[in-house]
Amino acid sequence: MPQNVRVRFAPSPTGPLHIGGVRTAFYNYLFAKKHQGQFILRIEDTDQNRLVPQSESYIQEALTWLGITPDESPQKGGEMGPYRQSERKSLYEKYALALVKAGKAYYAFDTPEELEAMRAKFKAIGQAAPQYNAISRMQMKNSLTLSQEEVSQRLKQGQPYVIRMLIDPQITIKAKDTIRGWVQVKGVNLDDKVLLKADGMATYHLANVVDDHFMQITHVIRGEEWLPSLAYHILLYEYFQWEKPEFVHLPLLLNANGKGKLSKRNTQQHDFPILPLDWQDAHTQQTLPGFKQAGYLKEALLNFIALLGWHPSHNQELFTCDELIANFSLSRISKSGACFDIDKAKWFNQ
Ligand code: GLU
């Protein structure tokens, strides 16, 4: 490993931490410890509308129970903090504006009604996303279509705007994922994503890339559901001329029969936990069960989740955490989804 390994677990505090998130955190932790690196917890709370207040403390408690201890976090602090995105707003704004200045992003003043009308037009001709792109952007109200004076005036008057990234439909973005190899995406299939929202807060894409850069993250290890974001992130690194981290997208967790993504509904039907700790829903007052309260030992749960997508070079199944650290490697993570078989978890627990 050439440089000092720095990895992060970056959950959004929008509800309880699902077992898939625990696995992501644990793989990051194992990788960091294996290479004497740092494991960072970053709270990605840019979407204030989806914030569920008790989820940040739930995440911290779950990681504490399992001993997946961050070296840097909102609670613990660290040299590259703050570690909550809501406390880093001005940084994102600065970099969004730098992209506008460099001609890689632009102001867009479209109202929700105008956006809706544009989407409806696309729908009428049978076109789904992407919609704010090279075809439509020149018919919308943005700094590419309005005169400079009008843009300055709108900004001076405090008219609401967003900043969008400008994507050239001619380009092909090549991104390397450690597990899948090279992935190619054509610019024409991408949307001019919003980077800075009307409330001045960054979106996930901008905040994630800016933070990974300034927190000196060397490996981005996250769930496969983030693979569609990769092309946007690669482009942002290129726009900023920043060195890219290595990207590792972990396989999906599937239901025990291998059919479909592991779902809350499925687990509720079969009455087994998929959360580390009990979670009480503030609205319904319903309690979703956690592995801890269901009587699972943390050692059993960690052993179980370690093998959901990763396998050692020999057929050992029972591991202590130290043995997992010693054996873990990114090259032994599989591409195909991992079946979540609760009987296996019970077996480890026994
Ligand atoms: N905030 C994202 C999440 O909730 C993080 C994705 C990433 O790791 O880049 O999972």
Residue 278 pLDDT class (50, 70, 90 cuts): very high
Range 118-147 average pLDDT: 90
Contact indicator for 117, 141 with CB cutoff of 8 Å: no
Q: What distance in Å separates the CA atoms of residue 294 and residue 64, rounded to the nearest whole number?
A: 17
Most distant pair of Cα atoms in the chain: their distance: 72
Tokens 């009587």 — which residue?
295
Per-residue pLDDT tens over the stretch 91-107: 999 999 999 999 999 99
The torsion angle over the Cα atoms of residues 236, 237, 238 and 241, rounded to 10 degrees, is: 130
85 touches ligand 1 (CB under 6 Å):
no
Q: Is the pLDDT of residue 2 over 60?
A: no
The token pair at 334 is 């599989």
The torsion angle over the Cα atoms of residues 217, 242, 12 and 321, rounded to 10 degrees, is: -20
Q: Is the pLDDT of residue 267 over 80?
A: no
47 touches ligand 1 (CB under 6 Å):
no
Range 76-84 average pLDDT: 98
pTM of the full structure: 0.96
Tokens 């749960």 — which residue?
301
Residue 129 pLDDT class (50, 70, 90 cuts): low
What is 93-153 written as a DSSP string? HHHHHHHHHTTSEEEE---HHHHHHHHHHHHHTT--S--SSTTTGGGSSBTTTS-HHHHHH
Q: What is the percentage of the chain residues whose pLDDT exceeds 90? A: 89
Q: Is the pLDDT of residue 270 over 70?
A: no
CA 318 to ligand 1 centroid distance, Å:
30
Q: Is the pLDDT of residue 337 over 70?
A: yes
Q: Is 171 exposed, middle or buried (0-12, 13-18, 19+ CB in 10 A)?
A: middle
Say what the pLDDT of residue 127 is.
80
Say what the pLDDT of residue 256 is.
86
Q: What distance in Å separates the CA atoms of residue 197 and residue 47, rounded to the nearest whole number?
A: 10
CA 284 to ligand 1 centroid distance, Å:
26
206 — alpha (psi -120 to 50), left (phi > 0) or beta?
Answer: alpha
**DSSP 3-state assignment of 173?**
strand
Contact indicator for 302, 66 with CB cutoff of 8 Å: yes
Instruction: Output the average pLDDT for the chain.
Output: 95
Tokens 């703050």 — which residue?
82
Range 10-27 average pLDDT: 97
Could you tell me which residues come within 8 angstroms of residue 124 by beta carbon, excluding any fewer than 6 positions away?
A: none
Contact indicator for 102, 129 with CB cutoff of 8 Å: no
Range 250-279 average pLDDT: 84
Pocket test for ligand 1, best of 204, 224, 248 (most atoms within 8 A of CB): 204
Range 278-290 average pLDDT: 92
Say what the pLDDT of residue 60 is.
98
Q: What is the percentage of the chain residues whose pLDDT exceeds 70? A: 97
Residue 269 pLDDT class (50, 70, 90 cuts): low
227 touches ligand 1 (CB under 6 Å):
no
44 touches ligand 1 (CB under 6 Å):
yes
208 touches ligand 1 (CB under 6 Å):
yes
Say what the pLDDT of residue 266 is.
64
CA 324 to ligand 1 centroid distance, Å:
24
